[in-house]
């Protein structure tokens, strides 16, 4: 190809490249969590364990961990709604964009006619997302998420902060 017209009019395919099938593991009492040497990896294990142990109080019927599914896992609510979940240790603009993209790609592979939701669990805000503007009851991270990322590609994406064994669903009042 020598021109952009030729490039964009072609249908390029990479030969021999296939997508691996997703693997879903239902979390249970006997789940053996993978050994993780990084803090974000350990945090991911803690989130899955917490959600499983507290599933009844949180209205969760089942917790699933995923491999090759674009997302880290999903929760199945008591009413049967499947909510894909992405886990990020520190949340800022870059991680918010990644999580939104990952959940959007999940729905491309698992189309749904129902209203589409997503959940992003994180430990703490990072960079400027951890600052609190004057005269506002929320950190910038909450403001940015719920003004720029909550309604992404026709989905409703919510944040949950999990830290020190406590989960906060949605934005807390700080003042």
Domain-located, residue 80: yes
pLDDT, one tens digit per residue, over 28-72 is 988 888 888 899 999 999 999 999 999 999 999 999 999 988 999
Domain-located, residue 5: no
Domain-located, residue 4: no
Domain-located, residue 11: no
> Is a pLDDT exceeding 50 seen at residue 3?
yes
CA dihedral 138, 73, 28, 171 (to 10 degrees): 10
The predicted model gives 5-27 an average pLDDT of: 81
Domain-located, residue 15: no
Domain that holds residue 121: 22-169
Tally of domains within the chain: 1
């Amino acid at each position: 190809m020598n021109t952009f017209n030729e490039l964009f009019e072609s249908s390029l395919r990479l030969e021999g490249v296939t997508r691996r099938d997703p693997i879903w593991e239902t979390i249970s009492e006997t789940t053996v969590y993978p050994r993780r040497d990084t803090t974000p990896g350990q945090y991911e294990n803690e989130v899955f364990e917490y959600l499983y142990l507290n599933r009844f109080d949180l209205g969760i019927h089942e917790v699933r961990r995923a491999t090759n599914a674009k997302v880290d896992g999903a929760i199945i609510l008591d009413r049967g709604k499947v909510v894909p979940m992405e886990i990020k240790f520190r949340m800022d603009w870059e991680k918010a964009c990644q999580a939104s993209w990952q959940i959007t790609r999940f729905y491309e592979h698992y189309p749904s006619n129902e209203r589409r939701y997503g959940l992003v669990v994180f430990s703490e805000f990072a960079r400027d997302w951890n600052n609190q503007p004057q005269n506002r009851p929320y950190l910038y991270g909450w403001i940015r998420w719920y003004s720029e990322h909550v309604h992404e590609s026709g989905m409703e994406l919510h944040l949950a902060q999990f830290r020190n064994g406590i989960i906060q669903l949605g934005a807390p009042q700080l003042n």
